[in-house]
Amino acid sequence: VQLVESGGGLVQPGGSLRLSCAASGITLDDYAIGWFRQAPGKEREGVGCISPGDGITFYADSMKGRFTISSDNAKNTVYLQMNSLKFEDSAVYSCAAVRTPPVHILRRWNRITFWNAWGQGTQVTVSS
């Protein structure tokens, strides 16, 4: 499994970015993809996840409304659309993969140990 994130960069407060997580070695129909972020000096924080095979998504409560996860299964890519960005959204954003579990198990997505493959991450900096 290989996951490669892209799309990070510098954005002003209130702006938007779309991150991509390109997967290889797996078929998204069979895997769930999660997004996490980590700011300097802070623990890794869950953003949300998607089961591309059926479109089910879960989000951390603090991420609902501004962040949207979607997938293009033909491109084997998952996206994280981030809107109304704030200074505190600055972090390294990483995607992770796990073979799709039953939905009642996927609800436990917001644990680092739930995932068994990780990308290297992409830096998002929100600054004026």
Segment 10-63, tens digit of pLDDT? 999 999 999 999 999 999 999 999 999 999 999 999 999 999 999 999 999 999
Name the residue among 40, 127, 52 with its Cα closest to residue 95: 52
Residue 93's pLDDT is what? 98
Please state, in angstroms and as integers, the Cα–Cα distance from residue 12 to each residue in 8, 18, 55, 86, following that order: 13, 14, 31, 8
Burial degree of 120 (CB within 10 A; 0-12, 13-18, 19+) = exposed
Q: For 69-85, what is each residue's pLDDT tens digit?
A: 999 999 999 999 999 99
Cβ count near 43 (within 10 Å): 8
CA distance 83 to 104: 29
Model confidence pLDDT, tens digit, residues 99-123: 999 999 999 999 999 999 999 999 9
Task: Compute the distance between CA of residue 38 and CA of residue 101 in angstroms, rounded to an integer.
Answer: 25
Per-residue pLDDT, 113: 94
The predicted structure's pLDDT at residue 90: 98
